[in-house]
Amino acid sequence: MHPFADSPASPRETAANSLHQLNFDNTFARLPQDFHSPQQPTPLFYPYLVSFNPAAAELIDLDRAESERPDFAVHFSGNRLPQGAEPISMLYAGHQFGHYVQQLGDGRAILLGEVRNRAGELWDVQLKGAGLTPYSRQGDGRAVLRSTIREYLCSEAMHGLGIPTSRALCITGSDEEVYREQIETAAVLTRLAPSHVRFGSFEVFFHRGQHAEITKLADYVIARHFPSLAHAPDKYAVLLDEVTHRTARLMAQWKAVGFAHGVMNTDNMSILGITLDYGPFGFMEAYDPGFVCNHSDHYGRYAFDQQPNIALWNLTRLAHALSPLVPEWEARAVLDGYAPAFYERYIRLMGEKLGLRDAGEPEVPLIASLLEFMEESHVDYSNFFRALGNFDSAPDARNDALRDQFLEREVFDAWARAYRARLDLEGVDDATRKRRMDRVNPKYILRNHLAQAAIERATAHRDYSEIDRLLALLARPFDEQPGMEDYAKPAPAGAPSIEVSCSS
């Protein structure tokens, strides 16, 4: 058989919710060709299914049993397209590490189209790693299994944490060789998102002087995602305001959970305020506000504590791109709302992590001093907040399991007295507070060494069980999940550090 030949059709083809009954409605493909390029995927050599995510399949009304079809991987590697798909690659530009790049676009991603589910929601279905496109520049259009596993797991981990994100339907693998720092094998990630429109989607037309296209794209985004704005006299300013507030809330969520994206270029910023394009991400372990997860970020532009400021910088670039539609004075007024929106949301989220309701300005010293002490003692961020749910608020309680995480126990004791006084104002018992805190402080995050263990099993032994185990674990990050306690631990002492770069 030819290595790219289709597998035999399955008798499931006529079943409800089958691959061939996906309800495609390709609205972005109906925009003028200035916005995209028609692009057939490059066939993948003997594709096979690595992992399938039933939770994501439900978003597009796809029967989970379809993953058992012999030809499932053929469809989601791009070798054979689902009925109704109109594959395109999207055009955009962007500021990369602060420097404008005039044309980027989907260099290794192909949008099959949008599937409309029974609830009327549209979900982009995109193949990442499906081959060369007009925007590939020096690339080969492929993704490698290593990076595909990382994005697959992290996007679902973020969803489990309640953070807006693209979703991951499946990974298809191949023995086809791909050259990065070393020879690796190719893979395709099928990801879903309400939209893949980015800040850079507007920038490309602004810098080309194509103002009519800016209007068309803004009208498209409003019609598809914000239809209530369609007849507002200042709809473009309100659109910018919506994007600004969504981005502020997203940055607050990232910071509260200890997530670093690693490469917050404007082409990686979603117009809907969702987490998009997982590359050199990292969940912070020992608390370090200067945490840099991207080995390529030599100057720390995208360090953990810089993310809120970078998001505002990126929003300013978006406002500049929208300047033919939104006057400067109005854009400035919108952007002025970013910092208060971020700050209010972040303080409230941190208050919830401490078991406090309606945290605000009075709680800032309590939050700030704790983080300062955690940094000095290199306290594990996620594990400490999870353990804090067990804090004994009795006046004479020592809370040794918590205080022993600090180099200076007396420092924790002083903070604990202030914390105890604030808890007294809550008027709830410790058990109730713990239940509340456990709902917002995850026990499980996608630590780098966990992802690496899954990658090593997959690449060295074709054992994909650890991918599926982590997928199930991270779908319920706030639950105890008996028997899985080792997955909550930091990397073992002396374990080699894992460096992740933009190529990851």
Handedness of CA 474, 480, 485, 488 (dihedral sign): positive
Let me know: does 304 contact 291? Beta carbons within 8 Å.
yes
Angstrom distance (rounded) from CA 177 to CA 182? 10
Let me know: does 228 contact 242? Beta carbons within 8 Å.
no
Q: Which amino acid is at 200?
A: G
What is the signed CA dihedral for 116, 117, 118, 120, rounded to 10 degrees? -50
CA of 366: how far to CAs of 39, 403, 415, 422, in Å? Answer: 54, 16, 8, 9
DSSP output for 276-290 = ---SS-EE--B--TT
Q: Which amino acid is at 445?
A: I
Catalytic residue among 63, 71, 267, 380: 267
Q: Which amino acid is at 244?
A: T
Q: Under DSSP, is residue 110 helix (H, G, I), strand (E, B) or coil?
A: strand
Q: Under DSSP, is residue 179 helix (H, G, I), strand (E, B) or coil?
A: strand
CA of 24: how far to CAs of 84, 112, 162, 502, in Å? Answer: 5, 9, 27, 32
Q: Which amino acid is at 351?
A: G
Angstrom distance (rounded) from CA 441 to CA 319? 35
Give all strands (DSSP E) within 227-298, no chain letters.
259-260, 282-283
DSSP 8-state code for residue 42: P
Please calculate the CA angle 229-235-238 and round it to the nearest 5 degrees: 90
Angstrom distance (rounded) from CA 226 to CA 196? 15
> What are residue 66's phi and psi, to 5 degrees?
-60, -25
List the structure tokens of 350. 């941190």
Q: 380 catalytic, yes or no? A: no
Q: How many CA atoms lie within 13 A of 341 on its CB side?
A: 20
CA of 247: how far to CAs of 29, 251, 336, 490, in Å? Answer: 26, 6, 13, 30
The residue whose two tokens read 């794209």 is 217
Angstrom distance (rounded) from CA 417 to CA 397? 10
Write out the catalytic residue numbers: 267
